[in-house]
Amino acid sequence: MARAVVNVPGTVRRGEVFEIRTLVQHAMETGFRRTQLGEAIPRDIIRQFVCTYNGAEIFRAEFHPAISANPLLAFSTIATESGTIAFTWTGDRGFSLTESARITVV
């Protein structure tokens, strides 16, 4: 069971730029490594991350094998209205994880 931690400020003033940070648990196996017996370890990484703000996409990232395990993403957006910020990570082997946070704009 994978786990994600998201950090979104609870209350922001309208028009203010605020930072969102996400940390997700994932081994990010590159696909380039081999076991001690020489067998290739298949790639198992997160391929895509999407963040939506009240349904509208505000940030998207593509992941590649060189990204570390348990990747941390930080990005910013402008506070427009109160609502929900939703996060989705999808990846190899059917990996899918969603998380959401409430935000109040005053």
Partner 1 sequence: MSARRLGWPLSALAAACVILVCARGAPAAEIPPGERRSGYEFMSRETRAMQDDDFANPGTLWVLDGEALWNRKDGAVQRACADCHGDARASMRGVAARHPAWDAAAGRPVNLEQRINACRTGRQQAAPLAYEGKDLLALTAYVARQSRGMAIAVAGDSRTRPFLDAGRETFTRRQGQLNLACTQCHDEQWGKKLAGTTIPQAHPTGYPIYRLEWQGLGSLQRRLRNCMIGMRAEPYAYGAPEFVDLELYLMWRARGMALETPAVRP
Q: Which residues bind partner 1 (CB under 8 A)?
A: 3, 5, 7, 21, 23, 25, 27-28, 68-70, 72
In whole angstroms, the minimum distance from the beta carbon of 72 to partner 1 comes to 6
In whole angstroms, the minimum distance from the beta carbon of 1 to partner 1 comes to 8
**C-beta closer to partner 1: residue 69 or 78:** 69
In whole angstroms, the minimum distance from the beta carbon of 2 to partner 1 comes to 9
The single residue listed with the structure tokens 């790639």 is 43
**C-beta closer to partner 1: residue 20 or 79:** 20
**C-beta closer to partner 1: residue 80 or 95:** 95
List all residues 6 or more positions away from 38 whose beta carbon is below 8 Å from its beta carbon: none
The values of phi and psi at residue 2, to 5°, are -85, 160
Residue in 100, 101, 93 with CA at minimum distance from that of residue 46: 93
Given a contact cutoff of 8 angstroms between Cβ atoms, the answer to whether 45 and 63 are in contact is yes
